Amino acid sequence: MTAPLASVLFVCVHNAGRSQMAAGFLDHLAGDRIEVRSAGSIPGDQVNPAAVEAMAEVGVDISDRKPKVLTTEAVRASDYVITMGCGDACPVFPGKKYLDWALEDPAGQGVDAVRPIRDEIRTLIEGLVAEIDAQRRA
């Protein structure tokens, strides 16, 4: 098996909505080509049920995922660190590519409010996959 093209870490506060949807899309769209992690600065107890439902509507199952705490090891092991509203809670290491995606927090919202966030995340993920693929071909 070949090594992944890149490793991506998605970080939000609770690791229950945005970062889980992003990780689900990246797993779905890139398969084994890109290593995927997600974590939260203050992880929640479970993945947001509205996020699970919204993702299931587009054929991506994130129902078995669990929020995880953000560790410096996870950041150190990643090529890309994509933050989603965790502010200064994310450790910064040289040599990593940091992106901040300003996405609305789906916490406490129903599936109708989560769908546009999900769709925005998918668009961002598609761009990220294209960027990683282009860099590896360059």
Q: State the Cα–Cα distance between residues 100 and 33, nearest whole angstrom.
A: 22
Q: State the Cα–Cα distance between residues 127 and 44, nearest whole angstrom.
A: 28
Catalytic choice (12, 70, 74, 129): 12
Give yes or no: 107 in active site: no
CB 45 within 8 A of CB 38: no
Give yes or no: 12 in active site: yes
Provide the 3-class DSSP secondary structure of residue 50.
helix
Q: State the Cα–Cα distance between residues 82 and 6, nearest whole angstrom.
A: 13
Catalytic choice (26, 75, 86, 103): 86
Q: State the Cα–Cα distance between residues 126 and 138, nearest whole angstrom.
A: 18
CB 86 within 8 A of CB 38: no
Catalytic choice (90, 114, 124, 129): 90
Provide the 3-class DSSP secondary structure of residue 72.
helix
Just list the catalytic residues. 12, 86, 90
